[in-house]
Amino acid sequence: MKDTQEKLSTLTIALHWLVALTIIGLIAVGIYMEENEAFSLYPIHKSVGVLIFSVVLVRIVWRLINGWPEPLREYEVWEHSLAKLVHWVLIIGTVAFPLSGMIMSGAGGYGIPLFGLELVPMNVDPANAEKIVPYNKDIAGIAHEIHVLLGDIMIVAIILHVAGALKHHIADKDQTLRRMIGQQS
Ligand code: HEM
Ligand code: HEM
């Protein structure tokens, strides 16, 4: 069930790709909907973000129980340190993204939906149904800044991470990428 150096467990592989592809999708949708004021996409972005948060928590518990996948051989110190640093940024980012999103929308009064369910209700001004009243404007503002900043940080981290995976595959010709798609090394 646990990862070995030769083979990663199905759970590690499934969680990696489920979280990875969802995060990439949410970053793309997030930037698109914000730039184009595509408000119909907001509830979908928020709902998928809330859902993936629960998967991210399972992944972290699994990482704690299982440990990190072992490198396939001794790499240069800089290479190993950079890969580890990027893995930490990615893991922390997967927690901080949905958390900051929920705090921003919740405290901002915009509400947190989960596909039709209202986890946190909108706070509408009783005198003007068009007007959203923040529960806490300062906290919502800080969470918004963090959510936007994370977009930049995570895009850089994902580019470095994918470049590393391709370097293993193309330049080093090792099994690192194959191992992450379930093949035995
Ligand atoms: C892993 C989960 C998530 C990712 C990767 C993600 C990513 C992003 C990105 C990249 C943006 C564009 C930021 C920019 O302007 O540059 C964005 C916008 C936004 N996100 Fe998320 N998000 C996630 C979860 C959530 C959650 C759970 C919520 C709320 C419950 C949320 C609410 C929003 C809102 C309201 C905006 C638009 C902000 C604006 O109009 O200024 N996000 N998201
Ligand atoms: C399509 C792009 C991606 C590719 C090709 C890819 C590839 C890989 C590979 C080959 C490994 C194994 C490294 C090793 O054995 O040491 C790995 C590990 C990892 N990847 Fe990705 N990855 C991608 C996207 C992402 C994204 C978007 C995230 C985070 C949001 C992510 C987070 C991680 C983490 C945290 C690890 C460490 C092992 C684990 O926790 O499962 N990856 N990735």
State the pLDDT at residue 126.
Answer: 94
Distance 151 CA to ligand 1 centre (A): 8
| Cβ-based neighbour number of residue 162 at 10 Å | 13
Helix (H) or strand (E) holding 26: helix 10-35
Q: For residues 98 and 173, what is the distance between their CA atoms, to the nearest angstrom? A: 36
Considering the domain boundaries, does residue 124 fall inside one?
yes
Pocket test residue of 21, 33, 42, 45 for ligand 1, highest count of atoms within 8 A of CB: 45
Cβ–ligand 2 contact at 153 (below 6 Å)? no
Residue 1 binned pLDDT confidence (cut-offs 50, 70, 90): confident
Return d(Cα 118, Cα 94) in angstroms, integer: 23
For the chain, give the percent of residues with pLDDT over 90. 91
Q: Find the mean pLDDT for residues 33-57.
A: 98
Asked if residue 34 belongs to a domain, the reply is yes
Please, are residues 111 and 99 in contact by the beta-carbon 8 Å criterion?
Answer: no
CA atoms within 13 A on the CB side of 154: 24
Distance 27 CA to ligand 1 centre (A): 7
Q: How much is the average pLDDT of 21-29?
A: 98
Indicate whether 3 belongs to any domain.
no
pLDDT of residue 73: 84
pLDDT digits (tens, 9 = 90+) for 58-69: 999 999 999 998
For the purposes of burial, counting CB atoms within 10 Å of the CB of 59, is it exposed (0-12), middle (13-18) or buried (19 or more)? buried
- Answer yes or no: is 105 within a domain: yes
DSSP 8-state symbol, 110: S
pLDDT at residue 40 in the model:
97
Identify the band that residue 75 occupies on the pLDDT scale cut at 50, 70 and 90.
confident
> 5 in a domain, yes or no?
no
Which CATH number covers residue 157?
1.20.950
Q: Is residue 4 assigned to a domain? A: no
What pLDDT shows up at residue 184?
73
CA of 22 to the centre of ligand 2 (A): 13
Of 79, 86, 106, give the one whose Cα is nearest residue 153.
86
- CA distances to 3, 61, 82, 133, 161 from 67, rounded to whole Å, are 8, 10, 18, 44, 19
Nearest CA to ligand 2 atom 11: 180
Could you write out the DSSP letters of every residue in 33-84? Answer: HHHTT-GGGHHHHHHHHHHHHHHHHHHHHHHHHH-PPPPSSPPPHHHHHHHH
Q: pLDDT tens-digit profile of 135-161? A: 999 999 999 999 999 999 999 999 999
Domains in the chain, number:
1
Q: What CA–CA distance (Å, rounded) separates 143 from 108? A: 9
The boundaries of the domain holding residue 158 are 10-180
Quick check: is 40 in a domain?
Answer: yes
Ligand 1 binding pocket, CB closer than 6 Å: 23, 26-27, 30-31, 34, 42, 45-46, 49-50, 52, 97-98, 101-102, 105, 112, 147-148, 151
Beta carbon of 99 within 6 Å of any ligand 2 atom = no
- Other CB atoms within a 10 A radius of the CB of residue 49 amount to 24
What band does 185 get if pLDDT is binned at 50, 70 and 90? Answer: low
Query: For 148-176, what is the mean pLDDT?
Result: 96
Residue to mutate (ligand 2; options 64, 154, 180, 184; most atoms within 8 A of CB): 180
Domain annotation covers residue 185? no
Range 89-97 average pLDDT: 98
